[in-house]
Amino acid sequence: MPNPLRVTAAVSKVLAVFLEDPEADRYGLELMRASGHPSGTLYPILLRLQNAGWVVAHWEDIDPVVAGRPARRYYRLTQDGRVSARTEIAALHAQLNRGLGAAKPATNPRTA
């Protein structure tokens, strides 16, 4: 059974990158650039997403000598991950919108 996942703002940024093209494989550096997270933030998030069953990972099958670079580890949303990510991001947006709607406009005591 997958672990439950708490979707924080940092997690939602990573999920939003995946949801831009849910069928695409993404590698770490690409995810770091798109989310704005450093590796020390991104990789623990990816591990949490994997443990929750929202993301799967695999190493690309290349010869590093021929490619001139190390093999990349690619990540992709699972079907459950796509559904859960959309649901959680929508809930986060709704929560933020409620918070913004509840905020009272600032008043200037001199003009009130």
Would you state the pLDDT for residue 61?
94
State the pLDDT at residue 95: 84
Domain holding 54, by residue range, is 9-60+70-100
Of 58, 60, 62, residue with least CA distance to 46: 58
DSSP 3-state assignment of 58?
Answer: strand
Confirm whether 30 is domain-assigned: yes
Q: What is the pLDDT of residue 104?
A: 57
- Domains in the chain, number: 1
The rounded distance, in Å, linking the Cα atoms of 76 and 82 is 10
In a domain, 20, yes or no: yes
Residue 105 lies in a domain: no
| Tally of CA atoms within 13 A in the half-sphere of 21 that contains its CB | 6
Rounded mean pLDDT for each run of 10 residues along the chain, 112 residues in total = 78 96 96 97 97 97 94 97 93 82 58 54
The length of the chain in residues reads 112
Residue 44: inside a domain: yes
**Cβ pair 35, 18 in contact under 8 A:** no
Which has the closest alpha carbon to 19: 84, 106, 65? 84
Q: What is the CATH number of the domain that holds 50?
A: 1.10.10.10
Q: What is the pTM of this model?
A: 0.80
